Amino acid sequence: MPRTTDRRVEPDCAPLQTGPADSDPLLQWQYEAQPPSGPGAVRCAGYPRELAMRGIPVACTACRARRDWLLINQSRHVWVRCRCSNQWLEPEITRADFDAMLTGPHLTSYPSLEAAMVALGFDGAFSGAYLE
């Protein structure tokens, strides 16, 4: 089982930066089309399968779900979020593990982490449902 605490550790949400206002519109579009990067960038990846830490299956402490996770990476930290909106820091998942779980070249950028959670269905609206 993952370690949980009463103290919630949330990823920092930095809004996407825009380029200089006086730049060429084509350069502005190229800048905005690039995926966010740097220490403030937050990346999310859906993980529909079961997740096991050291051979022990992970279950949500709030609803007991065993699969269909949202993994959130910022810097070297990875959080696991359930569809019921329960979220915890998972120190056993490294950034390298997160990168290995990314399965496609397609990236979608959202203006904030909250907007991404709503768009992906991890805001609690689909609590108790497995979507596939």
pLDDT digits (tens, 9 = 90+) for 19-77: 444 567 766 655 555 555 666 678 888 888 899 988 899 999 999 999 999 999 888 89
Establish how many alpha carbons lie within 13 A of residue 53's alpha carbon, considering only the half-sphere containing its beta carbon. Answer: 13
| pTM attached to this predicted model | 0.66
Show the CA angle centred on residue 104, arms to residues 102 and 107, nearest 5°: 90
